[in-house]
Amino acid sequence: MNMTLNNIFSQFVPSINFFIPITLIAIIINIVWFFFINIKNWLPTRFNKISNSLIQISVNTIFQQANPNAAPWLLPLSSVFLFVLSVNIIGLLPYAFTSTSHMSITFSLGVPLWMAVNILGFYLAFNSRLGHLVPQGTPSYLIPLLIVIETVSFLAQPIALGLRLAANLTAGHLLIFLLSTAAWALLNSPAIALITSIVLILLFILEIGVACVQAFVFTALINFYLNQNL
């Protein structure tokens, strides 16, 4: 069997099933599952206990070093974490489309949040924020160079925020796509196809972990930028 790869990035094109975009189905599933974690009875179900425990552990891990002044931000940042995590996980389902593998989505999430925390920081302590550009005790001849370096580092924060999430997810999805195509093309060689399938399964399990870690890193970076401005 010949293996043909017309376009390695074709997996990122939204698929359509029965004239309905798979992305729309994924978004509906993403919204509907919140109804299952809503406690309607006096006693919570096992699913409620498990989901609440996972959410509590995740939130405690992300905000374990949060500034007390950042308390009003914990709820929106927790919502961002759950949203990114659910989209990442749903994107691993067959025929699903991972929206967070596109930089247009990740930058649309990261840049407004980065701007919000920095505008807040400049509003609360304008002189202090400017003082971060030049550390105390810097020789006068190094001040212009440090200002340029710190400014570039400051402007690179939203780029790293959006690029990190999209790049890591894209790399993992491409590997899964290549291995699944190779396993299908090597059916004439059962031994090699079996080894490739085992590697594919292990890589898929690893991608589940990567999806969780990337959601954590994305939210933790925003929390870190927030703590710098408070």
Would you say residue 200 lies in a domain?
yes
Residue 2 domain-assigned? Answer: no
Q: What is the pLDDT of residues 169-211, one digit of tens each?
A: 888 888 888 888 888 888 788 888 888 888 888 888 888 888 8
Phi, psi dihedrals of residue 101, rounded to the nearest 5°: -85, -5
Asked, for residue 38, whether it belongs to a domain, the answer is yes
In a domain, 3, yes or no: no
Q: Tokens in use for 12?
A: 């990122």
What digits encode the pLDDT tens for the residues 115-166? 888 888 778 777 777 766 776 666 777 777 877 887 888 888 888 888 888 8
Residue 25 lies in a domain: yes
Residue 71 included in any domain? yes
For the segment 68-110, what is each residue's pLDDT rounded down to a tens digit? 777 777 778 888 888 888 888 877 877 667 778 888 888 888 8
Over residues 22-53, the pLDDT tens digits come to: 666 666 766 776 666 555 666 666 766 776 77
Count of structural domains, the chain? 1
Quick one: pLDDT at residue 45? 67
5 lies in a domain?
Answer: no
The residue range of the domain holding 62 is 10-228
